[in-house]
Amino acid sequence: MTRHRRLAEMAGFALVLGCAVSVLAGCAGGGVQVSAESRAGSPTPTAACPAVPGVELPPECAPYDPDAAMAANDGYRERMPLSDEAVAANRELLPEVVVALDSLRSDGAVTPESVVATLHDAGLTDVQTRGDSNGLLFGAVGVAGGCFYGEISVQTVQIEVGGLILDGGCLPAQ
């Protein structure tokens, strides 16, 4: 039994030694020497600079319009256009949805769960809610696509029909 133990210890030692040699020696070649100095400048712009009318930018600048960039950055909150047919089909369902939500409001039963159930019962899908009975935002996908979105509280019901938000869903990001 001692002989087997010694053989196992020697095999383990050989394995560890083999791994250590592989790590220290590596498998890659010497590589190519790269100089830190360069005689030529960068062939492409290296910085974004706001374009100002009448001002010539240095060659290392890539011009951009800051107002257009900001508008594009905020575009995720915009709604996609909805076809006239989809708007018409959703508007047919709108009175039924308003009556159902107003019934919740007048009963004082405004909760995220009750709003989700009411909108599902009206035939809407992918219902999202955010908030509480003091001001619950909701959004749901209509039968013809697009969104029913708005706010319900114990005082009021506001609802609109429109397209999906560009970043997806019916409710804007927080």
The two three-digit tokens of residue 78, written as one number: 């915009």
Cβ proximity of 154 and 174 under 8 Å: no
Average pLDDT, the chain: 82
Q: Where are the domains of the chain?
A: 44-77, 79-162
Confidence band for 94, pLDDT divided at 50, 70 and 90: very high
Which string of b and e fits 68-80 if b means at least 16 CB within 10 Å?
Answer: eeeeeeeeeeebe
pLDDT for 26 equals 60
List the end-to-end C-alpha distance of the chain, in Å, as a whole number.
69
Question: What is the C-alpha to C-alpha distance for residues 85 and 165, in angstroms, rounded to an integer?
Answer: 19
Q: How far is CA 84 from CA 13, 24, 127, 163, in A?
A: 77, 70, 23, 11
pLDDT for 83 equals 92
Q: What is the pLDDT of residues 12-60, one digit of tens each?
A: 565 655 655 565 556 555 555 655 565 555 566 678 888 888 888 888 8
More confident of the two residues 148 and 7: 148
